[in-house]
Amino acid sequence: MAQEVRGVIAPGKDEPVRVETIVVPDPGPGEAVVQIQACGVCHTDLHYKQGGINDDFPFLLGHEASGVVESVGEGVTDVAPGDFVILNWRAVCGNCRACLRGRPWYCFNTHNAKQKMTLTDGTELSPALGIGAFADKTLVAAGQCTKVDPSVAPQVAGLLGCGVMAGIGAAINTGNVGRGDTVAVIGCGGVGDAAIAGSNLAGAARIIAVDIDDRKLETARTMGATHTVNSKDTDPIEAIRELTGGFGADVVIEAVGRPETYKQAFYARDLAGTVVLVGVPTPEMKLELPLLDVFGHGGSLKSSWYGDCLPSRDFPMLIDLHLQGRLDLGAFVTETIELTDVEKAFERMHQGDVLRSVVML
Ligand code: APR
Ligand code: ZN
Ligand code: ZN
């Protein structure tokens, strides 16, 4: 039986979001209905609302979520009703070239639930990143659910569904940060701070945090940064070189998504160092570099896609590390809020006041 629950809808371009009754169908083959417990507010939700991603309004927002599987459809064996899970953007196929080559984050055949959730008048909803979790319940592909230790607080678990995983994964998966490395992280919002925490976890000896806002640099220290540079009044390339005996960092992680910070990241790395790009630029942005610098500098320039994470491997591991007290994921939760407060949370996010507001259900 389809169920009626509450969900946060973005009705049209730049219109305020509102809570409406949505209809969640029973799970079909390969699908699951998840009772959401917590869902973080991410920039991407705001971009959906602003029409910056596509025009498939109305959207059912929310995608950084954890919850309990309520029911599963035919053929689902990996998760069962009662399992505590973290949701990810899309299920991977396991059979394509990317999957078989051990790079499932580039899977060519990813999928979400086939059935659609709707408004009560039958209007089909587009779930943000194939999830739609600012809702009491949501319908996903069963492969979007990863079981983790249920003793973790739901507001902490949900964060791994997006920004925090992207940042930690940029350090431990894409950047392959190792013991003794010097890491520079440019941009210390939720993603950059997670990259700092990930670098710390990986055993980096020095972690240089770069931001234009002193408040962000203060928080970065609590996440594990050993040095901070305010790039509003200091050239970060010179500052990073100075802190590394003139060489540059082994790994530089860019978590802003702008041409000037991409450029800083490029020049702040050691010869043969690695630049990891996790900040997402807009389509019109361009980067111009002298080819001789590209050639002469060696090393590598990598983009990090969802932290190059494998949810089935990384989510349970990071939750275990958190429960053991070795990774403080709780530090990313600035506040917990009600489903009706998402619009306000967007404003606070815009002002740079929060790392994460998390809706509790
Ligand atoms: N130099 C250094 N830091 C900057 C600059 C700059 N020129 N411009 C902005 N920043 C800092 C901001 O002060 C803020 O601390 O970058 C940080 C960005 O943080 P958030 O806005 O909170 O964004 P976040 O959620 O961390 O995501 C960062 O990663 O995954 C991507 O789409 C995401 O592109 C976005 C980026
Ligand atoms: Zn695949
Ligand atoms: Zn997100």
Residue range 97-134, pLDDT digits in tens: 999 998 888 999 999 999 999 999 999 999 999 999 99
Q: Is 5 within 8 Å of 33 (Cβ atoms)?
A: no
Written as one letter, the residue type at 241 is R
- Ligand 1, residue 258: give the atom nearest the CA: 7
Q: Please give the pLDDT value at position 359.
A: 98
- Ligand 1, residue 232: give the atom nearest the CA: 1
Determine how many CB atoms are found less than 10 A away from the CB of residue 227: 18
Q: Please give the pLDDT value at position 41.
A: 97
Question: Closest by alpha carbon to 42, among 341, 345, 276?
Answer: 345
- Give the ligand with the smallest distance to the CA of 170: 1
Residue of the CA atom closest to atom 2 of ligand 1: 211
CA of 76 to the centre of ligand 2 (A): 18
Q: Residue 352 pLDDT > 90, yes or no?
A: no
CA of 3 to the centre of ligand 3 (A): 26
Element holding 201 (H helix, E strand): helix 190-201
Beta-strand ranges (E) seen in the chain are 3-10, 18-24, 31-40, 59-60, 64-72, 84-87, 118-119, 126-127, 137-141, 145-147, 182-186, 206-211, 227-230, 249-254, 269-277, 300-303, 335-337, 357-360
Q: Please give the pLDDT value at position 296.
A: 87
CA of 190 to the centre of ligand 1 (A): 8
- Ligand 1, residue 188: give the atom nearest the CA: 15
Q: Is 188 within 8 Å of 343 (Cβ atoms)?
A: no
List, for residues 52-73, the tens digit of each pLDDT value.
Answer: 899 999 999 999 999 999 999 9
Residue of 63, 217, 256 to mutate, ligand 1, most atoms within 8 A of C-beta: 256
Element holding 192 (H helix, E strand): helix 190-201
Q: Is 130 within 8 Å of 275 (Cβ atoms)?
A: no
Rounded to an integer, the average pLDDT of 307-332 is 96
Q: Please give the pLDDT value at position 102.
A: 86
Residue of the CA atom closest to atom 31 of ligand 1: 279
CA of 107 to the centre of ligand 2 (A): 4
Q: Is 203 within 8 Å of 178 (Cβ atoms)?
A: yes
Q: Residue 181 pLDDT > 90, yes or no?
A: yes
Taken in order of first residue, the domains within the chain and their CATH numbers are: 3-161+328-360 (3.90.180.10), 167-304 (3.40.50.720)
Provide the percentage of residues in the chain whose pLDDT is more than 90. Answer: 94
DSSP state of 78: S
Residues with CB under 6 A from ligand 1: 43, 163, 166, 186-192, 210-213, 216, 231, 255-258, 260-261, 278-280
Element holding 325 (H helix, E strand): none
- Ligand 1, residue 166: give the atom nearest the CA: 30
Q: Please give the pLDDT value at position 82.
A: 98
Q: Please give the pLDDT value at position 303.
A: 96
DSSP state of 172: I
List, for residues 329-350, the tens digit of each pLDDT value.
Answer: 999 999 999 999 999 999 999 8
CA of 242 to the centre of ligand 2 (A): 44
ipTM of the complex: 0.98
CA distance 194 to 168: 5
CA of 294 to the centre of ligand 3 (A): 31
**Strand bridging mode 126-127 / 59-60:** parallel
CA of 253 to the centre of ligand 1 (A): 12
The mean of the pLDDT values for the chain is: 96
- Ligand 1, residue 355: give the atom nearest the CA: 22
CA of 212 to the centre of ligand 1 (A): 10
List, for residues 9-28, the tens digit of each pLDDT value.
Answer: 999 999 999 999 999 999 99
Q: Please give the pLDDT value at position 298.
A: 84
pLDDT classification of 297: cutoffs 50, 70, 90: confident
Residue scoring higher pLDDT (208 or 353): 208
Q: Please give the pLDDT value at position 1.
A: 85
Rounded to an integer, the average pLDDT of 227-247 is 97
- Give the ligand with the smallest distance to the CA of 106: 2
Q: Residue 85 pLDDT > 90, yes or no?
A: yes
Residue of the CA atom closest to atom 36 of ligand 1: 279
Provide the percentage of residues in the chain whose pLDDT is more than 70. Answer: 100
